[in-house]
Amino acid sequence: RSLATAAPQGPVSFGLTDDQEAVRDLARRFTRENIVPVAAQYDRSMEYPWPVIKAAHGAGLLNTHVPEKYGGAGLSVLECALISEELAYGCTGVQTAIEANGLAEAPLIVAGSDAIKQKYLGRMTEEPLVSAYCVTEPSAGSDVANIRTRAEKKGDKWVINGTKMWITNAGHANWFFVLARTGDAGAKGLSGFVVDGDSVGISLGKKEINMGQRCSDTRMVTFEDVVVPEENMLGSPGDGFKIAMKVFDITRPLVSAAAVGLSQRALEEAVKYAQERKTMGTAIINHQAVAFMLADMAIQTEASRALVWKSAWTKDAGEKNTFYASMAKTLASRTAVENANLAVQIFGGAGFNTEYPVEKLFRDSKIFELYEGTSQIQRMIISRNLSQVYPP
């Protein structure tokens, strides 16, 4: 693997500290032992990977963002990115189920009171539970400011009504983060809530059958007169939209890191196959047309990883990273799709067959250009930030 292992030498370094290397190596070993051997089976059965999630919890690879005060590892965004890449190398379906916890937990970390963090983050570290982040709706995905789910104040409670769509982990969630409208139209009328999964009035749709990442659980969730205590609002009324956006500054680098994991897997599988498969009297890696496909895959994987690290490092340094997070998401997701496509090409007919690993990578890759904000939305964010980054 291509990560530099030297300790940081100066202000610019791609080296990792000993602790970061240890985190990456733990995740790499976990993936080789617990995810790679079962990935194809979960893809076929589409079962939720509970045994892997429980093992990840035991290994300390679940809820890695949760601060130490609430029982978590309190890892930096860069360290979480190292873990995401490794887990995704094994199976991005499993990785999505695991990292969806981090996504649901992030609003609490960004804006929750001490009591909320203690109650909802604390329990995640004590036992292997999962949670879900409910923002998208049937009529509003990219356009978060126009969601319709409403929360109305009744005495000292909030009552939530509405429908969320494409919610990862929904079928198994112990609790949900829910973005709902408490005020006027637009972004400023939205607020964020933590809702217990066993609340009366929550109903779950069927598990959606998706193109890829098939063991991950994606569902519609309907809230009908769901009563939520006042203290479960995160921040103040109207804070919800900005909380949701601040969350993406943390999670987009991690989703991008997962795309890099898939790209790296496609590259390694393709190199191995090209070294073994012979045509016209030589291994196909010796045909320049094949070797150049592999070279392109290596270039794009390294470039994506560098941008992911920059977006994570910028956030950890306490600076605004929205611009880099969207760049990392755009490049890493395109690279995942292209690398998976090239890997199938290099495998020839075998690339189209389920007995070989790359057709799964091909199906799994596409979602990276869609969830956590489509590539069009990432470009919109990048372009809106240009004048601030490069003032006239």
Q: Active-site residue numbers?
A: 372
Instruction: Give yes or no for residue 145 binding ligand CS8 (CB under 6 A).
Output: yes
Please identify, among the stretches 18-26, 75-83, 226-234, 368-376, the one whose residues bind ligand CS8 according to the rule CB under 6 A.
Answer: 368-376
Q: Tell me the two tokens of residue 63.
A: 């809820």
Q: Rounded to an integer, what distance in angstroms lies between the CA atom of residue 263 and that of residue 258? A: 9
Q: How far is the CB of 249 from ligand CS8 (least distance, A)?
A: 5
CA distances from 1 to 8, 28, 91, 302 (A): 18, 11, 17, 10
Q: How far is the CB of 345 from ligand CS8 (least distance, A)?
A: 28
Q: Rounded to an integer, what distance in angstroms lies between the CA atom of residue 67 and that of residue 74? A: 4
Instruction: Give yes or no for residue 256 binding ligand CS8 (CB under 6 A).
Output: no
Pick 85 or 369: Cβ nearer ligand FAD:
369
Instruction: Give yes or no for residue 333 binding ligand FAD (CB under 6 A).
Output: no
Contact 18, 10 (CB under 8 A): no
Please identify, among the stretches 140-148, 156-164, 339-347, 355-363, the one whose residues bind ligand CS8 according to the rule CB under 6 A.
Answer: 140-148
Pick 145 or 298: Cβ nearer ligand FAD:
145
Angle CA 72–30–216, to nearest 5: 80
Q: Determine how β-strand 173-181 pairs with β-strand 130-134.
A: parallel
Strands (E), the chain: 130-134, 150-154, 157-168, 173-181, 190-196, 202-204, 218-229, 233-234, 278-279, 282-283
- The only residue of 35, 170, 377, 382 in contact with ligand CS8, by rule CB under 6 A: 377
Instruction: Give yes or no for residue 285 binding ligand CS8 (CB under 6 A).
Output: no
- The only residue of 16, 27, 56, 100 in contact with ligand CS8, by rule CB under 6 A: 100
Site for ligand FAD in 110-169 (CB under 6 A): 132-136, 141-142, 166-168
Helix (H) or strand (E) holding 132: strand 130-134
Strands (E), 155-237: 157-168, 173-181, 190-196, 202-204, 218-229, 233-234
Q: How far is the CB of 330 from ligand FAD (least distance, A)?
A: 11
Q: How far is the CB of 341 from ligand CS8 (least distance, A)?
A: 22
Angle CA 93–98–103, to nearest 5: 110
Partner in contact with 246, chosen from ligand CS8, ligand FAD, none, beta carbon below 5 to 8 Å by kind: ligand CS8
Q: Rounded to an integer, what distance in angstroms lies between the CA atom of residue 15 and that of residue 139? A: 45
For residue 273, give the nearest of 361, 147, 363, 213 by alpha carbon: 361
Binding site residues, ligand CS8, CB under 6 A = 96, 99-100, 103, 133, 135-136, 142, 144-145, 168, 187, 241-242, 245-246, 248-249, 251, 254-255, 322, 371-373, 377, 381
Binding site residues, ligand FAD, CB under 6 A = 100, 132-136, 141-142, 166-168, 210, 218, 367, 370-371, 373-374, 376-377, 380
